[in-house]
Amino acid sequence: MDYKSSLIQDGNPMENLEKQLICPICLEMFTKPVVILPCQHNLCRKCANDIFQAANPYWTSRGSSVSMSGGRFRCPTCRHEVIMDRHGVYGLQRNLLVENIIDIYKQECSSRPLQKGSHPMCKEHEDEKINIYCLTCEVPTCSMCKVFGIHKACEVAPLQSVFQGQKTELNNCISMLVAGNDRVQTIITQLEDSRRVTKENSHQVKEELSQKFDTLYAILDEKKSELLQRITQEQEEKLSFIEALIQQYQEQLDKSTKLVETAIQSLDEPGGATFLLTAKQLIKSIVEASKGCQLGKTEQGFENMDFFTLDLEHIADALRAIDFGTDEEEEEFIEEEDQEEEESTEGKEEGKKFIYLHSFVPSLIPQQPEVPTVCEALC
């Protein structure tokens, strides 16, 4: 029992050591020379060169006369990016300690007797080792299965040759997978950069769009205030004119009322002499008052403010048609809008001047009525 226990204790450290000496690329024990990466992981130089060439297919070899800068690849264990100089993997430092440990391990293994369970045995023939490979069934088997067993009619090959072929194929697949992972990582990095730039560009155009619309709002508010001010000015001018006419007519009414009262009192005068003394002057005052009754007045439609009406339908259509486009389209659209606005403004200004002069100016000129006769004035 003590002897078997010591064998188990002696075997476990060697098995653990063997696991530490396995290359992550070829899955075999490191083949000298062994190189150490900056991340402190080890690789066979051949395996390191395979993944380096796969990740940098256009890198020139050491025998080429053309000098070229180094490439890069990722450690298959920790994915750390290894940047190479112009020497490639030959510029990596050899791990002499690992190489010495491998030599000692191989010497120790060669000095140990081969245990029965260290080589896989055939399930059909328990005493036969698996030493050939059935190419037809694509499974490893033993010589007895080929001579007397189920693989009698199958094509077989030496196990070592198939082993080396599949090992090489697996190495190539690993190299292609590692190179593919590097390319995928590169694409992911590019997509992340594209995502960041897309967010930045979107934020920028949003800010620019908001500024342009804020400018439009400011222009509309300014134009609104300007047009309201013009309407208010026109309103004040017309109201001032009407108030002046009301005051004139009110003064004339008060004066006429007093003359009427005086004339009535004169008619009540019993004495003819007294009446005649004041009648002539009173009649003259009434005639002059009747002449003054013809003051200025407003024409029909004087209070109309329709000439301040705006036709904004084309501007509303233009606002609804706002959309993203090229700079050339925007410039053409702006030029067309400016031209239409100039033509519309000129037409409205001329129409307004004509309406204003026609409706307002004549009302400021007092009418010249015919002078009534004495009888008409008295009536």
Whether residue 211 is contained in a domain is answered as: no
104/144 same-domain check? no
Tell me the mean pLDDT in the region 79-90: 83
95/25 same-domain check? yes
Query: 201, 199, 216, 203: which is closest to 322 by C-alpha?
Result: 216
102/139 same-domain check? no
The CATH number that applies at residue 18 is 3.30.40.10
Tokens linked to 263? 């004339």
75/139 same-domain check? no
36/96 same-domain check? yes
96/179 same-domain check? no
Whether residue 204 is contained in a domain is answered as: no
23/92 same-domain check? yes
Tell me the mean pLDDT in the region 276-283: 78
Q: Which of 184-198, 210-224, 248-262, 275-289 has the lowest mean pLDDT?
A: 275-289
Rg (CA), the chain: 57
Q: What is the pLDDT of residue 10?
A: 47
User: What is the SS3 string spanning the chain?
Assistant: CHHHHHHHHHHHHHHHHHHHCECCCCCCECCCCEEECCCCCEEEHHHHHHHHHHHCCCCCCCCCCCCCCCCEEECCCCCCEEECCCCHHHHCEECHHHHHHHHHHHHHHHHCCCCHHHCCECCCCCCCECCEEECCCCEEECHHHHHCCCCCCCCEEEHHHHHHHHHHHHHHHHHHHHHHHHHHHHHHHHHHHHHHHHHHHHHHHHHHHHHHHHHHHHHHHHHHHHHHHHHHHHHHHHHHHHHHHHHHHHHHHHHHHHHHHHHHHHHCCCCHHHHHHHHHHHHHHHHHHHHHCCCCCCCCCCCCCHHHCCCCHHHHHHHHCCCCCCHHHHHHHHHHHHHHHHHHHHHHHHHHHHHHHHHCHHHHCCCCCCCCCHHHHHC
Query: 105, 142, 86, 81: which is closest to 22 by C-alpha?
Result: 105
41/92 same-domain check? yes
Is residue 229 pLDDT above 90, yes or no? Answer: yes
Q: Kindly indicate the confidence band of residue 239, based on its pLDDT and cuts at 50, 70 and 90.
A: very high
Any idea which residue has 């450690």 for tokens?
Answer: 75
Q: What is the pLDDT of residue 65?
A: 43
Q: Which amino acid is at 60?
A: T
Percent residues over pLDDT 90 in the chain? 17
pTM over 0.75: no
Question: Are 26 and 167 a contacting pair, CB within 8 Å?
Answer: yes
Whether residue 350 is contained in a domain is answered as: no
Last residue of a domain, one of 146, 174, 192: 192
CA atoms of 219 and 43, how far apart (whole Å): 71
Which of 101-110, 196-205, 267-276, 310-319 has the highest average model confidence (pLDDT)? 196-205
- What backbone phi and psi angles, to 5 degrees, belong to 29? -65, 145
Whether residue 75 is contained in a domain is answered as: yes
Q: Which residues pair with 29 in a beta bridge?
A: 22
Whether residue 140 is contained in a domain is answered as: yes
Q: What is the pLDDT of residue 349?
A: 57
Q: Kindly indicate the confidence band of residue 111, based on its pLDDT and cuts at 50, 70 and 90.
A: low
Whether residue 43 is contained in a domain is answered as: yes
Q: What is the pLDDT of residue 278?
A: 76
Question: Are 130 and 122 a contacting pair, CB within 8 Å?
Answer: yes
Domain encompassing residue 178: 128-192
Q: What is the pLDDT of residue 357?
A: 36
Q: What is the pLDDT of residue 227?
A: 94
181/143 same-domain check? yes
Q: Which residues pair with 141 in a beta bridge?
A: 132
The CATH number that applies at residue 181 is 3.30.160.60
Total number of domains constituting the chain: 2
167/94 same-domain check? no
Q: What is the pLDDT of residue 373?
A: 34
Which is more confident, 321 or 67?
Answer: 321
31/90 same-domain check? yes
Average pLDDT, the chain: 77
Q: What is the pLDDT of residue 292?
A: 58
89/168 same-domain check? no
Whether residue 46 is contained in a domain is answered as: yes
Whether residue 86 is contained in a domain is answered as: yes
Burial label for 278, CB within 10 Å (0-12, 13-18, 19+), is middle
Tell me the mean pLDDT in the region 168-188: 90
